[in-house]
Amino acid sequence: MQNKTFSIFYLPIFLFFSIFIHSADKYYPGSSWELVSAESQGIETKNVETLIDIAFTDNSTLGVVVIKNGKIIGEKYAPGYDSDSHGTSWSMAKSYYAALIGISIDRGEIGTLDDKVLNYLEYFNDERSEITIRDLLDMSSGLDFPSHEHEKMFFQDDHLAYAKKVGVEKEAGIKFEYNNVNSMLLGDILYQATGKKADILFEERILEPLEITDYKLWKDEKGNVMTYCCVDMSARDYSKFGLLFARNGIWNDEQIISKNFVDETFQVVWDTTTERFTRFNRGYSLHWWVSAYEDDFKIFNTSGKFGQYTFVDRENDIIVTRITKYNQQDSGDVQKWGPMSYLKWAGVDNAIKVGRRLIENGVIESGTNVITPFTDKEGESKEFYPRYGDFIAAIQNLSCNCYLEDISN
């Protein structure tokens, strides 16, 4: 009887230390990464090669990094680029700043995801008063949704002023609409809840613990953090953010983001979304995309406008990042439109085309006359989108080792 009591009493302690030891045994990269063979991590090299080959069927690819158990098992860069080369995230950044909302909830600075935005932003004291933080993160706020998805905001000198003026189009929570204003408002919520701007919070609460030191966090001309886009860093550093979520928000035994928030993020809220760039069916949850959700295979990913992705297979501890070619700038991290300010109210596609033409012809100089994240035609994905489903299948093949001979054809 005494032995039985002893066993029951110490069982919770045993389980706690088992979990702790399991977490402590996991490898986390620091300022450098460990590069190992795929076979050493139980994965066939040909499956890694197939995955990378699919990405490089598109000439826009800057680099691909494949990670298993926190270690790099495959990596390739286009000529002229290497592991230190920056890409720009475009909308991958939405997932990063959404994580700060989770951290603020963990710290008691924000109540819950179901708090009304009005609790933090007094200018929501109008027809927007019923919108919740969850509605913003799930892209179902019901805010006015034009065909350009408020990408015109990118060409303003004050992005937050633009976002503040956007009214209601429909009831919140009833429809998925990929609206950049939802994400821009996160920065203001964070500022009102913490007294710090989102870039400072991102540095202090995520980048520093992950030992990411080489980056840009873009702001508009008025100093507002562009929380809907535009974080510059390397493919390896983007992968660290994916690894943080794959590891339940833990980094080197520090709980950066609560497991509860990661669990809530990695579910399906919208199982079918409107087509964006690829016809491959994807879902959405809390500023993450869902590219696979089967009993034995789930892929969540960040996603950027021109084909930038970090894919997370949480159950198999696999991370895959693919970024596109980008002209890294040394001119700061604050937008300056200069002579291109006249494009402010032009259509988005026209603004991009005209801007590229002016830069290509030397009329304006990117990084001097105009300072902004900029992806030219060379970095804009085309062939990758029709192969998106193949790429997801290739990630699945990493964990199951069920190699398909014709997948790279």
Confirm whether 290 is domain-assigned.
Answer: yes
Residue type, 168: V
Please state the rounded mean pLDDT for residues 372-387.
Answer: 94
Confirm whether 372 is domain-assigned.
Answer: no
Confirm whether 370 is domain-assigned.
Answer: no
CATH number of the domain to which 211 belongs = 3.40.710.10
What's the total number of domains in the chain? Answer: 1
Give the pLDDT confidence score for residue 366 in this predicted structure: 72
Confirm whether 364 is domain-assigned.
Answer: no
Give the pLDDT confidence score for residue 15 in this predicted structure: 42
In terms of residue numbers, what domain contains 205? Answer: 83-325
% of the chain beyond a pLDDT of 70: 90
CA gap 285, 341 in Å, rounded:
35
Q: How confident is the model at residue 355 (pLDDT cuts 50, 70, 90)?
A: confident
Considering only residues 389 and 148, tell me which one the structure prediction assigns the higher pLDDT: 389
Confirm whether 134 is domain-assigned.
Answer: yes
Residues 385-408: pLDDT tens digits?
999 999 999 999 998 866 544 444
CA gap 382, 363 in Å, rounded:
27
Q: Look at residues 348, 319, 350 and name the one whose alpha carbon lies nearest to residue 244.
A: 319
Q: What angle do CA 156, 157, 159 make, to 5 degrees?
A: 65
CA gap 342, 164 in Å, rounded:
22
Residue 320 has pLDDT above 90, yes or no: yes
Average pLDDT across the chain, whole number? 90
Q: How confident is the model at residue 11 (pLDDT cuts 50, 70, 90)?
A: very low
Give the pLDDT confidence score for residue 345 in this predicted structure: 66
Kindly give, in sequence order, each residue whose CB lies less than 8 Å from that of residue 6, ignoring residues fewer than 6 positions away. Answer: none
Tokens of 320: 């895959």
Confirm whether 395 is domain-assigned.
Answer: no
Confirm whether 216 is domain-assigned.
Answer: yes
* Alpha carbons within 13 A on the beta-carbon side of 21: 6
Give the pLDDT confidence score for residue 173 in this predicted structure: 97
Q: How confident is the model at residue 238 (pLDDT cuts 50, 70, 90)?
A: very high
With H, G, I as helix, E, B as strand and everything else as coil, classify residue 177. Answer: coil
Give the pLDDT confidence score for residue 21 in this predicted structure: 41
CA gap 189, 180 in Å, rounded:
15
Residues 243-292: pLDDT tens digits?
999 999 999 999 999 999 999 999 999 997 777 677 788 999 999 999 99
**What is the pTM (predicted TM-score) of this model?**
0.90
Confirm whether 191 is domain-assigned.
Answer: yes
